Chain A
Amino acid sequence: MSYPSNVKVVKLPCTGRVDVLLILRAFESGVDGVYVAGCMEGECHFLRGNLRARRRVEYMKGLLEEVGLGGDRVEMFNMSASQGQRFAQCAREMTERIRSLGPSPVRKSSSNT
């Protein structure tokens, strides 16, 4: 299985740990896009973690629209632990999407606090 080398994986115990602040911090650090790779819906070990993550990603899309980065820079994908090919496919899909959107406009300047 190979996936684009530009994708940095941040491991979490469950996508239910994903918080809007975590994603915002990533964008503040200059990433061009963020996607959340959760388990298949209905198969969360913690019951609803991936469903909560999806709602937070949807909320995050609104925040990114507000600040002018665009909601398409964040996405939620579902896959099971055995679907390595889907993981790679999602990584390629998101990479292509972000490539078409271009670099994050935030990266131009990072001198402020």
Chain B
Amino acid sequence: MIVGDRKDFKEILEKLGSRRRVLVLGCNECVTVCGVGGEREVGILSAELRLYWKKEGETFEVREHTLERQCDYEYIDQIRGFVNDYDVILSMACGAGVQYVAEAYKTKLVLPAVNTTFLGVTIEQGVWSERCQGCGSCILDMTAGVCPIARCAKSLLNGPCGGSSGGKCEIDNETDCAWQLIVDRLKESDQMERYEEILPVKDWRTGREGGPRKRVREDLKL
């Protein structure tokens, strides 16, 4: 899923400036699962705004609304009937959702309330960890199902480096060395011969380095 962090309340207030009619817009997908931008978090942020502005004696209107997704137009379109009642849309979706809402309502100010951080997994309730960088050319078959692009601090294709110690990365002792994980798993799955294969230089054009990506499936088009 896409993982993010709620922006600091102070930063959100600063971005809102003098605008007091606010539509707080949540998303029922990834940001709900990682506890940053779903219906509950929309409720919390909205309550914070109301408490703050009540305390300041200001006049305001905060509306809470959560869409099934903010990355599909058919859901974004559902707010068309009341979106103009508000000065600003405070989107709690990932960066993709914020942008798509802004694209749909060109005259509206759309502000992000979330810092989108990574593609990851749930380690346990309340803990998430990065697993994928969307590089566009997956090599997990070569690395025993552990991604060195996302999980090695240097994204080394042939590791580990000298900074690996006791199974941990030199950046901090909480971070596993991805290449240690790869070697361990190659051993466990009786594939150590793969470790002898030198992975070639990666073609990064399939990733972000090749510019914004677009995917077209003619067979799925209507």
B83 at the A interface (CB under 8 A): no
Chain B residues lying within 8 Å of A69, measured Cβ to Cβ, are 51, 55
Could you mark each residue 22-58 of chain A with 1 if its beta carbon is under 8 Å from any beta carbon of chain B, else 0? 0011011000000000000000000000000000000
Residue of A nearest to B48 (CB): A67
Q: Which of A19, A67, A110, A112 contacts B61 (CB 8 A)?
A: A112
Chain A residues lying within 8 Å of B204, measured Cβ to Cβ, are none
Known A66-B9, A66-B10: A112·B47 in contact at CB below 8 Å: no
Could you mark each residue 41-77 of chain B with 1 if its beta carbon is under 8 Å from any beta carbon of chain A, else 0? 0011001101111110111111100000000000000
Q: Are B50's CB and A28's CB within 8 A?
A: yes
Q: Which of B57, B58, B62 contacts A113 (CB 8 A)?
A: B62
Rounded to whole angstroms, the CA-CA distance of A35 and B8 in the bound complex is: 25
Q: Are A108's CB and B57's CB within 8 A?
A: yes
Rounded to whole angstroms, the CA-CA distance of A63 and B59 in the bound complex is: 21
Q: Are B55's CB and A67's CB within 8 A?
A: yes
Shortest Cβ gap from B107 to chain A (Å):
24
**Pairs A–B under 8 Å by Cβ, sample size 26:** A20-B44, A21-B44, A21-B47, A24-B43, A24-B44, A24-B48, A24-B51, A27-B47, A63-B9, A63-B44, A66-B9, A66-B52, A67-B9, A67-B51, A68-B52, A69-B55, A105-B54, A108-B55, A108-B57, A110-B54, A112-B53, A112-B54, A112-B60, A113-B60, A113-B61, A113-B63
B187 at the A interface (CB under 8 A): no
Residue of A nearest to B20 (CB): A112
Chain A residues lying within 8 Å of B43, measured Cβ to Cβ, are 21, 24
Chain A residues lying within 8 Å of B15, measured Cβ to Cβ, are none
Rounded to whole angstroms, the CA-CA distance of A67 and B63 in the bound complex is: 18
Describe B's contact surface by its main secondary structure. Answer: helix
A106 at the B interface (CB under 8 A): yes
A100 at the B interface (CB under 8 A): no
Chain A residues lying within 8 Å of B9, measured Cβ to Cβ, are 63, 66-67
Known A20-B44, A21-B44: A112·B59 in contact at CB below 8 Å: yes
Q: Are A25's CB and B61's CB within 8 A?
A: no
Q: Which 6 A-B pairs have the closest CB atoms?
A: A24-B47, A66-B9, A105-B55, A67-B52, A106-B54, A67-B51
Chain B residues lying within 8 Å of A82, measured Cβ to Cβ, are none
B40 at the A interface (CB under 8 A): yes
Residue of B nearest to A30 (CB): B54
Centre residue among A20, A27, A67, A68 by max chain B CB count within 10 A: A67
A5 at the B interface (CB under 8 A): no
